[in-house]
Structure 1
Amino acid sequence: MRKIVATESVSLDGVMESPEEWSPAYSTQELDEANAAGMASSDALLLGRVTYEELVAFWPTQPDDNPIAKFINNVPKYVVSTTLEDVEWNNSTIIAGNAEEEIDELKQQDGDGIGIVGSGTLVRSLLDYGLLDEFVLNVHPLVLGDGKRLFEDVGERNALNLVDSKTFDSGVISLTYQPAKTDVEEADE
């Protein structure tokens, strides 16, 4: 079964909005290498509509000598949206029906991991559906005060287990979490 992994840049107060405006100040070669390793473990992207629209406005015009551009422009992209009628970006497919069922079917297909960037609403939904396998939260050492937060309007309580952590020289801390298993799930193993 394929794993769905959400990698998010957040401020210390949980803001994820517009990381292109505040996260580059904390970028280091070591952090870039860690992010590239995360991309390499995925052979598909799962995106919400807003994130798709932000990414498609920039990445398709970037040259393939940029490793992020090469990856993101060529990898299959699945866009969860009930409002988009067409997606123009190379290798993009709309998931417009029952997102929970369609994403579960996508996880059952052969392949490597499925990565998510941004897409806060989608990430929260996948957590509620029990379809999100892992979070990688790159927590940046700044407080933004306002902006869209990753865990706004959270539905049910979700326990997480910390499975890895790494501190970078820039002060960014990468925290990897997996949803905690319930007693029923542990008994099934």
Structure 2
Amino acid sequence: MPKRAHSSHRKKDAQMRKLKKKLKQMEKQIRKIQSSESSESDHTYSKEESSDSESSDNESYKQKDDMEIEAPTPTQDFSVLGSKPNDEDEMGKSLHEEIIVRWNTYLQKGFDKTQREELMAKYKLPVNCKMLIPPLVNKEILPCLPKSANENDHFLKALQKQLAHGLTALTENTRLFPI
């Protein structure tokens, strides 16, 4: 096997060991919490039994409820899960409301085939950016591919081409990058 495969397997094995270690730590914490809860419930039960036999059943239930309320709740340590992710970093600036209205419609319903073809014809790919053109499968390999792989390749190629035309439209209309 090539070196890449070995290194990727090593990385996966290291990640698995790390996750298993964290899992064991979490299981220990769960057992600690469960054992402390069971010992607390045993403690409240034994105190209830030691109460005077003359007290009524209602008083013993009341004492048990009072003891459960007074018992401190165990603190949970989430440090084994890693640092808390900050979702605010993923969001950028707000867009203009007119853009939002249109994009929401396009993202939900999409374009008609004619609209898509018109936009692709209007915004041609730039001559000096060949990387926007989706790559082609080698003609020698094409007959060897299964039908599903060939269909998947055509789908991805069409998607990449639409994306390239969309990027071209953005650059032409914003005039950020003169073409």
Shorter chain as denominator, the TM-score bin is under 0.3
In terms of fraction of residues, the more helix-rich structure is: 2
- TM-score normalised per structure 1: 0.20
In terms of fraction of residues, the more strand-rich structure is: 1
Structure with higher RCO (Cα < 8 A, 6+ apart): 1
Whose Rg is larger? 2
